[in-house]
Structure 1
Amino acid sequence: MSLFDKYAPLQSRVDMMMKIGKDALGVQFDDILSATKGRVGNREILLAGTNNYLGLTFDEDCMAAAKDAVTRHGTGTTGSRVANGSYHEHIDLENALAEHLGMPSCVVFTTGYQTNLAAIAGLAGDKDIIFMDADAHACIIDGTRLTGASTIRFRHNSPEDLDKRLRRQGEIEGGNALVVIEGMYSMFGDIAPVDEFVDVTHRHGGYLYIDEAHSYGVFGPTGCGIAEEQGVLDKIDFISGTFSKSLASVGGFCASKHPEFEITRKVMRPYMFTASATPSNICAARAAVEKVKTGAHLRQNLKDRAAQLHAGLAAMDYDLCAEPSPVIAVRRPNEAVAAMEWNALIESGVYVNLAVPPGTPQSSSLLRISLSAAHTEEDINQIIKAFGDLKTNQASMMQSMMTKMQAAE
Structure 2
Amino acid sequence: MQDNAPVSRESDGKDLFSKFDPIIKMREDLLSSGVEDPFNLVMEQVLSPTRAICNGRETILLGTYNYMGMTFDPDVVDAGKQALSDFGTGTTGSRVLNGTYQGHKDVEDALKEFYAMDHAMVFSTGYQANLGIISTIAGKGDYIVLDIDSHASIYDGCKMGDAEIVPFKHNDIEAMEKRLKRIPEGAGILVVLEGVYSMLGDVAPLKEMVAIAKRHGAMVLVDEAHSMGFIGENGRGVVEAQGVIDEVDFIIGTFSKSVGTVGGFCVSNHPKFEIMRLVCRPYTFTASLPPSVVATAATSIRKLMHGSDKRAHLWENSKRLHAGLKALGFKLGTETAESAIIAVIMPDLGQGAAMWEALLKEGLYVNLARPPATPGNMTLLRCSLCAEHTTEEVKTILDIFEAAGKKVGII
Instruction: Name the TM-score, length of structure 1 as normaliser.
Output: 0.94
> Structure 1 residues 275 and 85 mapped into 2: Cα distance closer, same or farther (>3 Å)?
closer
Contact 1:102-1:234 at 8 Å conserved across structures: no
Q: Please state how far the C-alpha of 1:248 moved relative to its aligned partner.
A: 0.7
Amino acid at match of 2:280: M
Residues 188-212 of structure 1 show CA distances to partners (whole Å, capped at 9, x for unaligned) of 0000111111100101111110000
Cα distance between partner residues in 1 of 2:22 and 2:170: 29
Is 1:2 aligned to 2:15, yes or no? yes
Contact 2:48-2:72 at 8 Å conserved across structures: yes
1:132 to 141, 146, 157: 146
Residues 321-346 of structure 1 show CA distances to partners (whole Å, capped at 9, x for unaligned) of 01312000001111111001100000
Contact 1:339-1:354 at 8 Å conserved across structures: yes
Amino acid at match of 2:256: S
Amino acid at match of 1:268: C
Q: Please state how far the C-alpha of 1:67 moved relative to its aligned partner.
A: 0.5
Amino acid at match of 2:364: V
Indicate the structure with greater helix content.
1
Is 1:178 aligned to 2:212, yes or no? no
Q: Please state how far the C-alpha of 1:99 moved relative to its aligned partner.
A: 2.3
Cα distance between partner residues in 2 of 1:138 and 1:314: 30
1:86 to 100, 124, 137: 100
Contact 1:53-1:373 at 8 Å conserved across structures: yes
Contact 2:92-2:99 at 8 Å conserved across structures: no
Cα distance between partner residues in 1 of 2:152 and 2:92: 27
> Structure 1 residues 85 and 281 mapped into 2: Cα distance closer, same or farther (>3 Å)?
closer
1:390 to 404, 408, 411: 404
Correspondence for 1:376: 390
After TM superposition, the structure 1 = structure 2 runs for residues 42-57 of structure 1, keeping only pairs within 5 Å, are 42-57=56-71
Cα distance between partner residues in 2 of 1:249 and 1:40: 21
Percent of residue pairs identical? 45
Contact 1:49-1:370 at 8 Å conserved across structures: yes
Residues 92-134 of structure 1 show CA distances to partners (whole Å, capped at 9, x for unaligned) of 2112212221221110000000000000011112121000111
After TM superposition, the structure 1 = structure 2 runs for residues 57-96 of structure 1, keeping only pairs within 5 Å, are 57-96=71-110
Correspondence for 1:115: 129
SS in 2 for 1:234: coil
Correspondence for 2:179: 165
1:333 to 327, 347, 372: 347
Amino acid at match of 1:17: L
Cα distance between partner residues in 1 of 2:40 and 2:195: 28
Q: Please state how far the C-alpha of 1:317 moved relative to its aligned partner.
A: 1.7
Cα distance between partner residues in 1 of 2:21 and 2:196: 34
Cα distance between partner residues in 1 of 2:37 and 2:273: 43
1:269 to 261, 266, 281: 281
Cα distance between partner residues in 2 of 1:3 and 1:176: 37
Contact 2:358-2:408 at 8 Å conserved across structures: no
After TM superposition, the structure 1 = structure 2 runs for residues 179-328 of structure 1, keeping only pairs within 5 Å, are 179-322=191-334, 323-324=336-337, 325-328=339-342
Q: Which runs of 5+ in 2 are unaligned?
A: 1-13
Is 1:353 aligned to 2:367, yes or no? yes
Cα distance between partner residues in 2 of 1:182 and 1:79: 31
Correspondence for 1:402: none
Correspondence for 2:116: 102
Correspondence for 1:406: none
Amino acid at match of 2:88: G
SS in 2 for 1:82: coil
Amino acid at match of 1:164: K
Cα distance between partner residues in 1 of 2:30 and 2:42: 16
Cα distance between partner residues in 2 of 1:109 and 1:371: 26
Q: Please state how far the C-alpha of 1:170 moved relative to its aligned partner.
A: 4.4
Contact 1:93-1:282 at 8 Å conserved across structures: yes
Cα distance between partner residues in 1 of 2:17 and 2:161: 28
State the superposition RMSD in angstroms: 1.4
Contact 1:69-1:279 at 8 Å conserved across structures: yes
Count of matched residue pairs:
395
Is 1:16 aligned to 2:29, yes or no? yes
Cα distance between partner residues in 2 of 1:280 and 1:85: 13
Q: Which runs of 5+ in 1 are unaligned?
A: 399-409
